[in-house]
Amino acid sequence: MKKFLILLMAFIMLLSLSACSNGEQPTNPSEISNEKTELTMGYQTDPEGLDPQRTAAASTFVVTNNIYDTLIGVTQGWEITPRLAEKWDISEDGMEVTFKIREDVFFQNGRQLKSSDVEFSFNRLKDEESPKARDYANIKKIEIIDDYNIKFVTEKLDVELLKNFAYPWAAIVPEEEVANLKTKPVGTGAFELKEWVPQQHIILERNENYYGIKPKLETVKLELIPDATSLMAGLQVGDLDIIPLTGDQVKTLKDNTDYSILAQPMNAVQIMSLNTDNKILSNEKVRQAMSMAINKDEIIEASSFGYGDKIGSHLPTTSPDYYDTNDVMEYNPERAKELLKEAGYENGFDIKLTLPKNYQIHVDAGQVIADQLSKIGIRVNIELVEWGTWVSEVYSGKKFEMTVVGHTGRLDSYAFLSRYKSDSEDYISLKTGEVDELLNKALQELDGDKRKDIYKQIQIVLASKLPAIYVQTPYTMLGMQNNVKGMNIFPIDIYDFKDVYFE
C-alpha cells in the first residue's frame, strides 16, 4: 500500500511537470476573480437622442455623461473638478478663462482630441440649432493658443461663467462625427455605446482607451421600465442592480439588508407658482395668508413619504448659497384668516390650480394644498392636464392662476433666481422690482462671500413677497443590491458609472 501511494504521488508530480513544460502555469487561487462586471439599471424615460448639444432632456444627459467628457466636472459636493482640462486660469477682471487640455485624450474613433475640437464644440453649442445657445451668448471670442491651450473671452462680466463648462451639454464632440451623433455617439468618455434599442434598452461598454482610470464595470445595461412596481420587482428578483425609488418604496426596502438605499436632496425645488397678473393673487396679503395656511411637513409626507426638505424661497437646501427662510412666513392658519380679512376676502374666494398629471409628486402636493387652503375659506378647483399642455399653456402661454411644479437646478444661484427680475419673461416674476438691483450686483460681484450675502438678501425678499409659495427640495432616491458600491448623486442631471463596482 505504501509503495502504491508513493507511485501515485510520483504520477501526479509527473502530470504537473508535463503541464508546466507545455507552457501552462499552475493556477494561483488568489488570482481567480469572481468580481461581477456587468451592471443593469432600470430607467423610466428614453433619451431624445445621444447628441448632448441638440437636446435639453435630462433623460439624454444621464446617459451621455458616460460617453462624452466636458472640460471640467462637478463632484457630489458641488466642487469643480478637472476632466478634459487638467487646469484653468481666470483673468483678474473675470472676463477670460484659459484651459490647459490633457494631451493623452483620444476620441472613441481613435483620433486625438485637441483645442480645435473644443473650439468647434462650443461654436456648435452657440449656434441657432442649440437649445442652450442663450447660455453661451456672452462668449464673444474663442482663441486657440496651441493644440492644448484655449481661451474664452466674454462680452461682459459673468462671475458664474466657469460653471457653464461643467454641464453635460458642454461635452466635446468630434466634427467629423456630428451628422450621426444622435444615434451613434462618439466621445472621449469612460464608456462607449454598444447598442441602443429605443423603448427597450441601452448597452454601454467600457472604453479600453479611456485616458483616466479604467472603470471596473465592463458593461452597463439600462433597461427601460416605466412602471415603478415593475422596477421594484426587477430589483427584488435580482434582474436589476439599481432602480430609481419612490418614497413608499424606500420604506419597503430600508430594513432589508439585501439592499442599500441612496437618498439625497436634489438640486431642485418644488413650488406653487402664482400668477400675480390675477387680481386676487396680486394682493401680497393674500399670498402671505395662503403661505401661512400651508403645512409643508404634511405636503412632504403625503407627496414624498417624508423624503423632502421644506424651503422658504427659490433655492434648494443643497445649494452652497441656500439660506433658511422658513421662519419668515411660518405655518399659522389663524393669522392667515386675519390676513385674508385685511385683504378684503373674509369669506374666501375661488381659484384654479392647474397640475401636470404626469408628475404624481406635484399632483399629490396640489391636492394637499387644496385641502389646507379650504380650511381658511379658499376654494381650490383642481385641473389636471397633460405635460405637453402644461408646457404650452402654463409655462409658455402663462394662462394659469396657480400651479405646482418642480424646477431643477443649475450650479449657479443666479440661474435659479433671475426669473424673479421684474422684466423677466418667465412665467413667474416679482413685478414690484425688489430684487432687480440685487440680481445685477450678484452677477458682477467677484467676491464669493459678498455674492453669497446678496443671494441671502434675495431669498429673504422672496420669502416675504411670495411671488410663489415655496414647498420643498425633493430627494433623489436609488435602490441598489447591497453589493453595488461607488454610485453617487450629483447636483446636475447625470449618472456616472466609471466609479461603480460590485463588492
Question: Predicted confidence band at 425 (pLDDT cuts at 50, 70, 90)?
Answer: confident
pLDDT in tens, 145-165: 999 999 999 999 989 889 999
Q: Indicate whether 356 belongs to any domain.
A: yes
What is the residue range of 125's domain?
68-176
pLDDT at 270 over 90: yes
Radius of gyration from C-alpha coordinates of the chain: 27
**Percentage of the chain with pLDDT > 90?**
83
Question: For the residues 470-475, what does the mean pLDDT come to?
Answer: 96
Quick one: pLDDT at residue 375? 97
pLDDT in tens, 195-243: 999 999 999 999 999 999 999 999 999 999 999 999 999 999 999 999 9
pLDDT at 24 over 60: no
pLDDT at 5 over 80: no
Q: Indicate whether 495 belongs to any domain.
A: yes
* Beta strands, E only, 362-443: 378-385, 402-408
pLDDT at 138 over 50: yes
Residues 89, 142, single domain; the answer is yes
CB neighbourhood size of 120 (10 A)? 17
pLDDT at 186 over 90: yes
Quick one: pLDDT at residue 358? 83
C-alpha cell, 199:
423603448
Quick one: pLDDT at residue 34? 52
Query: Domain count of the chain?
Result: 3
Quick one: pLDDT at residue 374? 97
Residues 244, 282, single domain; the answer is no
**N- to C-terminal Cα distance for the chain?**
48
Question: For the residues 236-261, what does the mean pLDDT come to?
Answer: 92
Residues 472, 333, single domain; the answer is yes
Residues 166, 115, single domain; the answer is yes
Residues 462, 489, single domain; the answer is no
Q: Which spans in 129-261 are helix H?
A: 228-236, 247-253
Residues 141, 257, single domain; the answer is no
Question: Predicted confidence band at 26 (pLDDT cuts at 50, 70, 90)?
Answer: very low
Q: Indicate whether 32 belongs to any domain.
A: no
Question: For the residues 258-268, what does the mean pLDDT come to?
Answer: 94
Helix (H) or strand (E) holding 222: strand 219-224
Backbone angles phi, psi at 275, to 5 degrees: -85, 100
Q: Indicate whether 36 belongs to any domain.
A: no
User: Where is pLDDT greater, at 106 or 25?
Assistant: 106
What pTM value is reported for the model? Answer: 0.83
pLDDT at 245 over 50: yes
Residues 237, 275, single domain; the answer is no
pLDDT at 121 over 90: yes
Residues 484, 448, single domain; the answer is no
Question: Predicted confidence band at 58 (pLDDT cuts at 50, 70, 90)?
Answer: confident
Question: For the residues 292-301, what does the mean pLDDT come to?
Answer: 97
Quick one: pLDDT at residue 475? 94
Question: Predicted confidence band at 246 (pLDDT cuts at 50, 70, 90)?
Answer: confident
Question: For the residues 303-332, what does the mean pLDDT come to?
Answer: 95
CATH number at residue 423: 3.10.105.10
213: helix, coil or strand? coil
Q: Residue 271 in contact with residue 407, Cβ under 8 Å?
A: yes
Q: Indicate whether 43 belongs to any domain.
A: no
pLDDT, the chain, mean: 91
Residues 357, 467, single domain; the answer is yes
Q: Indicate whether 99 belongs to any domain.
A: yes
DSSP tag of 295: -
Q: Residue 49 in contact with residue 182, Cβ under 8 Å?
A: yes
* Boundary of a domain, candidates 127, 146, 176: 176
Residues 442, 496, single domain; the answer is no
Q: Which residues contact 139 (CB under 8 A, 6 or more apart)?
A: 122, 126, 152, 153, 154, 155
C-alpha cell, 190:
469612460
CA dihedral 397, 398, 404, 408 (to 10 degrees): 70
pLDDT at 25 over 80: no
Residues 225, 364, single domain; the answer is no
Residues 211, 172, single domain; the answer is no
